[in-house]
Amino acid sequence: MLIRKIAIIDFDVHHGNGTEEIVRNLDCNIKENIMMTLPFSGINISVAKPNCHPWLDDEDANDVLFISLQGYDMDDPREFYPSSGNGDNNTTKESNVYPGGILNIPIFNNKKYSHGYRNSN
């Protein structure tokens, strides 16, 4: 049996920023500029390299969904390491990684503490 769609759900106090980065890098359309020095000449050049590490094929970005529910403090994001996951980086229908993609659900106010987190709806 071949599995084509994957959902990764991270439910704890910290944002799953490492897993989010892996899912984001499934999109082969993102280019990363890297600086390199040519051997023997010492000339520095900038090279655009695809920032893509697909598991199976170029369509992986559409088949992987990452959801992270985590504590977040709107007033002081540093309270919860790694201080990310507020929802600004969520993907939409216009994103290259859709219908897969990234959904961050920050839990804040009184629900960010243990008892409120467990009782969240």
Beta strands 64-71 and 44-50 are: unpaired
Separation between Cα atoms, residue 57 and residue 86, nearest integer Å: 30
Structure token pair of residue 68: 């992270």
**Spatial CB neighbours of 88, under 8 Å, sequence gap ≥ 6:** none
Are the beta carbons of 86 and 48 closer than 8 angstroms? no
Per-residue pLDDT of the chain (121 residues; tens, 9 = 90+): 677 788 999 988 888 888 888 888 777 666 677 777 877 788 888 877 766 666 667 777 788 899 998 888 878 877 777 888 888 888 888 877 777 789 998 887 665 555 555 665 5
Residue 57: CB atoms within 10 A of its CB come to 9
Residue 114 has a pLDDT of 57
